[in-house]
């Protein structure tokens, strides 16, 4: 099997303290067949929900964004977080400054853009929105709940 996935060196931003998984990811199809994999790579057309019965043994899920305009990975990420996945969720591929925060809000906690991003611009993007209108996977309390205590 060809190596898939990013290495720890490719990860530019990470919001976790645990050790990074340092082995290749397998495809969703291969994961279904191969019982011992702990790292999986989701492509836009994959149904992330296939992984849900096995979340306890997965330490890394990479979600690939071949082109930033294909937003299926956002739904994949939320589906995993909503099901209780607590391992690393890494956005890889065509990840730009203007996608970072939306990805973060959908549950991504690591980012491996295929072209390194300007650190200051990225920091600005992560910190930009003081409040949000939706409850998603980042744990922030949505504005409508803040309004009503």
* Region from 1-9, 12-20, 73-81, 84-92 binding other proteins, contact rule CB under 8 A: 73-81
Residues 3-32 that bind other proteins (CB under 8 A): none
Q: Taking CB under 8 A as the rule, does residue 90 contact other proteins?
A: no
The nearest distance, CB 48 to other proteins, in angstroms, is: 9
Q: Taking CB under 8 A as the rule, does residue 146 contact other proteins?
A: yes
- Token digits of residue 106: 């959908």
3-state secondary structure of 86: coil
* Region from 9-17, 22-30, 35-43, 96-104 binding other proteins, contact rule CB under 8 A: 96-104
Asked whether 23 and 35 are in contact (CB, 8 A), the reply is: no
How many Å apart are CA 84 and CA 140, to the nearest integer? 16
Sheet holding 39-42, edge to edge: 13-14, 110-113, 88-93, 60-65, 39-42, 26-27
Q: Taking CB under 8 A as the rule, does residue 144 contact other proteins?
A: yes
Listing DSSP states for 15-55 in one string gives ---SPPP-S-BEEHHHHHH-TT--EEEE-TTS-GGGGGGGG
Return the number of the residue (8 or 142) whose C-beta is nearest other proteins.
142
Among the listed residues 75, 86, 114, 123, the single contact to other proteins using CB under 8 A: 75
Rg, Å, the chain Cα set? 15
Q: Which parts of this chain interact with other proteins (CB under 8 A)?
A: 44, 47, 68-72, 74-75, 78, 82, 96-98, 101-103, 105-106, 118, 121, 124, 128-136, 142-148
């Amino acid at each position: 099997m060809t190596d898939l996935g990013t290495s720890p060196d490719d990860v530019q931003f990470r919001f976790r303290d645990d050790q990074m998984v340092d082995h290749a990811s397998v495809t969703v199809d291969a994961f279904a067949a191969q019982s011992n994999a702990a790292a999986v790579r989701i492509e836009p057309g994959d149904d992330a929900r296939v992984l849900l019965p096995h979340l306890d043994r997965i330490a890394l899920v990479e979600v690939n964004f071949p082109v930033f305009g294909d937003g299926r990975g956002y739904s994949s990420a939320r589906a995993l977080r909503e099901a209780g996945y607590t391992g690393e969720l890494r956005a890889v591929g065509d990840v730009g400054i203007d996608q970072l925060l939306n990805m973060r809000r959908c549950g991504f906690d690591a980012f491996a853009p295929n072209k390194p991003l300007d650190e200051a611009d990225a920091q600005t993007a992560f910190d930009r929105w003081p409040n949000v209108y939706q409850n998603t996977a980042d744990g922030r309390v949505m504005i409508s709940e803040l309004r009503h205590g």
